Amino acid sequence: MISDSPAPMNSNESGSEVTEQVVAQTNVSAEDSFVAAESSANTADAATLAEMTKQMESLKAQVELLNTQNMRIGADFDNYRKRNAKEKEDLDAQVKRNTITELLPVVDNFERARAHIKPQGDGEMGIHKSYQSVYKQLVDCLKRLGVSPMRPEGQEFDPNLHEAVMREPTDEYPEGTVLEELVRGYYLGDRVLRHAMVKVAAPKEDAPSDEQIQSPNADS
């Protein structure tokens, strides 16, 4: 008689199935753990990236600030250098002007001597030529320094260049015309070194008419 009860399970087959189930569960757990770990790693990477980005932005801002400060310091130093050079140039020019101004009276005296002294005889002429050669040497030196004389005769009076010390009535020249340079003026470059002292033309007084010069008793 054949029994309908199921055949008994082989122990090897039962153990294999259990092992496969365990392995399957282990694989699932491992996969879940890997996914979880990967997700955690991605979260950590995102946080790290955000932190690094924040640090980079901070460093970039610091670099820009340092560049701005460096440019400002460079501009300040350049302005200081230019200001210092300008002050030195102005000081040198002032010393030069003062020194040359002190020499101008010497030039004036040489010119007065040349105009007024009339040497008599060979001996006096030799002396005259000697000091006039010194005068020429001095004038040449002043020219090399940029000094040039004014030539105001015949020009219109200009208070920026001339100093009027005399007025002469005349009808030969328009009023305000420089008639004579009494003390020579000089330029240093394109600037006035010394104003010229000049005589200026003034209107000539009208001659009195016959009626004005008529005797008061003429009508009597």
Reported as half-sphere exposure (CB side, CA atoms, 13 A), residue 107 has a value of 21
Spatial separation of the C-alpha atoms in residues 18 and 13, rounded to whole Å: 9
Show me where the domains of the chain are located. 147-205
What residues pair up with 145 in beta bridges, in sequence order? none
Question: How far from the centroid of its chain's Cα atoms is residue 179's Cα?
Answer: 42
Q: Which two tokens stand for residue 213?
A: 């010069």
3-state secondary structure of 17: helix
What's the pTM?
0.58
Q: What's residue 87's pLDDT?
A: 92
Whose tokens are 């996969």? That residue is: 31
* pLDDT at residue number 186: 96
Structure tokens that stand for 13 in this block:
């087959």
Helix (H) or strand (E) holding 192: strand 191-194
pLDDT value at residue 157: 95
| Residues 198 and 163: beta-carbon distance below 8 Å | yes
Measured between its terminal Cα atoms, the distance across the chain in Å is 201
Residues 6+ apart with CB under 8 A from 104: 186, 193, 194
Residue 29's pLDDT is what?
A: 57
| pLDDT the model gives residue 162 | 95
Q: What pLDDT is stored for residue 216 in this prediction? A: 47
Burial class (CB in 10 A: 0-12, 13-18, 19+), 193: buried
> What is the CATH topology of the domain spanning 147-205?
Nucleotide Exchange Factor Grpe; Chain A, domain 2 (2.30.22)
Query: Across the 220 residues of the chain, what is the mean pLDDT of every consecutive 10-residue run?
Result: 47 53 54 59 75 87 90 91 91 91 92 82 82 90 94 93 93 92 93 94 66 44
Q: State how far the Cα of 7 lies from the Cα of 13, in Å rounded to an integer.
A: 13
Burial profile 44-73: b = 16 or more Cβ within 10 angstroms, e = fewer = eeeeeeeeeeeeeeeeeeeeeeeeeeeeee
Q: Are the CB atoms for 177 and 213 separated by under 8 Å?
A: no
Q: What is the pLDDT of residue 207?
A: 42
As a whole number of angstroms, the distance between CA 62 and CA 178 comes to 70
